[in-house]
Every structure is written in C-alpha cells, then in structure tokens.
Amino acid sequence: MNIMNKELSLPSESECMRIMEEYEMLPNIVEHSIQVKNVACAIMDHLKDDVKINRSMVISGSLLHDIAKTRTIKTRELRHDLIGGEMLRKMNLDSLAEICESHVVFQDFNARGPLEEREIVFYADKRVMHDTVVTLDDRVEDLVHRYGVNDKVKSLIRENKHFVLQIETKIRDCMTVDLDTVLTKL
C-alpha cells in the first residue's frame, strides 16, 4: 500500500489510525501507541524555541512505532522494530522507518548533537507501560519481566536504562519546564 508518494509527506493522525487498523494492530498496542504520542507531544509542547523538531514526524512515528508488534506476536518473529521499518519503507515512509527501527536498539546517539525526532519517540516509548505513563524504573522492570528470557537479556535491558537516561538528559536540557512535571499531568 502506498500511503504517500513523497517522503516529506507524512500520514496524518487519522491516516496513521487507518494504517494501524489495516495491519490489525491489537487494541492494547494501539492504546500504547496513542499514549506514546501523548508523551511525545507533551515533550514537544515544552521545547525551547531554538529546538527544531518536525512535530508531524514525531506524531506519526509515535503512532506507528509498533506497527509490526501484532504481527510478531502472532508469528513469533523477532525484532518488531526492524520488521516495522521494512513495512514503513514499503509505504515510502523512510523517515518513519528510521524512527521505528530506532525505538528498540538506538544507533548513532550523539549526546551533543541537536535533539532528534527519533530520540523523542524512543524516550516516550520507554516511559509508557501499556497505556500508562510510568517511571523509567517501572518500565525497565516491566521489560525485564516480559522480554528477559535469560539472565543475559535481563542484564542488557537493565544496562539500556543508562542509555535512556542519557537521552532523558538531552531532552531535559532542551525543555523550558521540568520533564517530570509535564509527564505527571498525563
């Protein structure tokens, strides 16, 4: 399916919802994605004026970051992030594919570079458990419980928290108000 012919044309929220419906995303995954979008929007609503972020890209990326999750649950395939990226590329949504591919394993993080759309989605996803905004500690333990198939994987998930904290610091430095204050209102 070709939603958009131009890479810079991103699907609207309603088009994202239609895509989620077309790919038969489970209701709980849709609810999770909507809450990730809410967290991302709350962050964007309080960015300093000199921080340049493509709001539409973050919104669409938040809504579609788990586009392959239902499929991988049903088929037991691994790496819903990479499969989702492939699906989005087939729709000519390469920038959203990059966001999707970065929401589990983040590559090329630059702590001193400008804030990126994929960093906001990555972080927002790490703050939403199911459809509830939670602390990073609670989310990490949820991920350990659900995906920690062995001690090595559990350790990797827990170690990833340090990386998430680096992104959190970058986001905090770009905001005009306290991040925790913003997120407690959701």
Quote the pLDDT of residue 66: 96
Contacts of 4 (CB under 8 A, 6+ apart): 10, 11, 91, 92, 93
Residue 128 DSSP code: E
Quote the pLDDT of residue 21: 98
Q: Would you give per-residue pLDDT tens digits along the chain (186 residues)?
A: 333 334 468 999 999 999 999 999 999 999 999 999 999 999 999 999 999 999 999 999 999 999 999 999 899 888 999 999 999 999 999 999 999 999 988 889 999 999 999 999 999 999 999 999 999 999 999 999 988 899 998 998 898 899 999 999 999 999 999 999 999 999
Start-to-end Cα distance in the chain: 34
Contacts of 3 (CB under 8 A, 6+ apart): 11, 15, 19, 91, 92, 93
Quote the pLDDT of residue 8: 60
Q: Which domains does the chain have, with CATH numbers?
A: 13-184 (1.10.3210)
Quote the pLDDT of residue 159: 87
Sign of the dihedral through C-alpha 16, 4, 66, 12: negative
Cα 65 from chain centroid? Answer: 5
Quote the pLDDT of residue 77: 86
Cα 119 from chain centroid? Answer: 8
Quote the pLDDT of residue 2: 33
Quote the pLDDT of residue 76: 87
